[in-house]
Structure 1
Amino acid sequence: MRNLFLAAMLLVSFASMAQKLGPDHIVGVWQSENYKIEFFKEGEIYSAKLLWSREMFEPDGNTPKKDVHNPDENLRDRPIKGITHITGLVYDGGGYKNGQLYSVQDGNTYGFKGELKSQDKLETRAFKGVPMLGRTIHWTRVQ
């Protein structure tokens, strides 16, 4: 009887955690090994701006790098810090899809999707064409 009670409590615990992880739970600051980003919401669309990366500054450690690989020549002089580089992400039944990631490293735009694995863990995938041919990044919530 005791095991049945513990199993029921565990099930209720998981159910309540799943309910807490609604679409807006992605909003906030997240950090991976090489990046720190901040997700925000505009209407029903989620986007993220770049707060920090390992390659954000020139070798002197003080001069911010510019967006030199941007295909739009008018944007190549802007600093990469603070640019919105994830756009168009929509929530769909437990995951986020249809996003785009602009890479400051090469100036290309990639497909982007993500899934909250827990309250403070986010898994995203950036890809060119097919998600199987992409790169997975694991994030931890900062705020």
Structure 2
Amino acid sequence: MINRLILVFISLTALSSLAYAQKADDILGTWLTDEGKARIEVYKENGKYNGKIVWLKEPKNEDGSLKRDKENPEKELRDRPIVGLNLIKGFVFDDDQWEDGEIYDPESGKTYSCRIKMKKGKLEVRGYIGAPMFGRTVVWSRYK
């Protein structure tokens, strides 16, 4: 009897962990950033996951002009609009997370290494320099 209970417990544990396992394409769709400033559409291209800004809460400057990538270190890119800008790029799915990608911060013009994990239907996006322990995590929610 005890052996049966142990077998049932092990089976239920294994099944519950499978229910929470991520699939690579679970990241696809539109996500609202942590502060609600932007929506990011995550798409797959050539086997890698990328994301572009498709909406900004405040798409225009005070003078009515479109917000542009003015902090970009590459002078020739400073005039491109923020909406439509690729924010995340080059991610591959491995071991329940998306990794080996980069995230661009248009507010500072800096690009960081990044990894993304999904927990309880939300994305934990961690940008970092060098090692993940030296970074910052933000949480994005799926936009419906």
TM-score tier after normalising by the smaller chain length: 0.7 to 0.9
SS of the aligned residue for 2:133 comes to helix
Who is 1:52 aligned against?
55
Q: Give the total of aligned pairs.
A: 137
Give the AA of the match of 1:124: V
Compute the TM-score of the two structures, normalised by the length of structure 2. Answer: 0.80
Letter in 2 for 1:81: V
User: Aligned partners of 2:19 and 2:75: how far apart in 1?
Assistant: 49
Structure 2 residue runs of 5 or longer lacking an equivalent are none
Q: Which runs of 5+ in 1 are unaligned?
A: none
1:127 alignment partner in structure 2:
128
Residue among 105, 108, 123 paired with 2:107: 105
Alignment of structure 1 residues 36-51 onto 2, 5 Å = 36-51=39-54
2:80 to 75, 78, 81: 78
**Secondary structure of the equivalent of 2:84?**
coil
Counterpart CA distance in 2 for 1:98 and 1:15 is 24
What is the CA–CA distance in structure 2 between the aligned matches of 1:110 and 1:10, rounded to whole Å? 37
Over alpha carbons, which structure has the higher Rg?
Answer: 2
* Residue 96, structure 1, aligned to residue 98, structure 2: yes
Sequence identity, in percent? Answer: 36
2-side partners of 1:133 and 1:52: how far apart? 29
User: Once the 2 structures are TM-superposed, how far is the Cα of residue 79 of structure 1 from its aligned partner?
Assistant: 0.7
Aligned-residue offset at 1:102: 1.4
Name the aligned partner's letter for residue 128 of structure 2. Answer: F
TM-score under structure 1 length normalisation: 0.81
Write the mapping of 1:63-74 to structure 2, written as runs, cut at 5 A.
63-74=65-76
Question: For residues 8 and 129 of structure 1, what CA distance do their matches in structure 2 show?
Answer: 40
